[in-house]
Amino acid sequence: MERYLKLYRIVFWTGYIAVLITAFLPISLRVDKIRFGPDAFAIRSDHLLHFAVYLLICLFYLLGARRGLKLFYVNPLRKFITLILLLAIITELAQLWVPSRAFNVFDGVANVTGVLVGWLVIRIGKA
Range of the domain at 69: 2-29+47-126
C-alpha 41/C-alpha 72 separation (Å) is 42
98 three-state secondary structure:
coil
Query: What are 28-86's pLDDT values in tens digits?
Result: 555 454 445 555 445 677 889 899 999 999 999 999 999 999 999 999 999 999 999 99
pLDDT, tens only, 79-110: 999 999 999 999 999 888 888 778 888 889 99
Q: How many domains does the chain have?
A: 1
Nearest to 61 by CA among 2, 115, 20: 115
Report the alpha-carbon distance of residue 95 to residue 97 in Å, rounded. 5
- Kindly report whether the global pTM for this prediction surpasses the value 0.85: no
Q: Note whether 57 and 116 are within 8 A (CB).
A: no
Is 86 domain-assigned? yes
Q: In the beta sheet, which residues pair with residue 42?
A: 35
* Per-residue pLDDT reduced to its tens digit, 5-15: 999 999 999 99
Does 42 fall in a domain? no
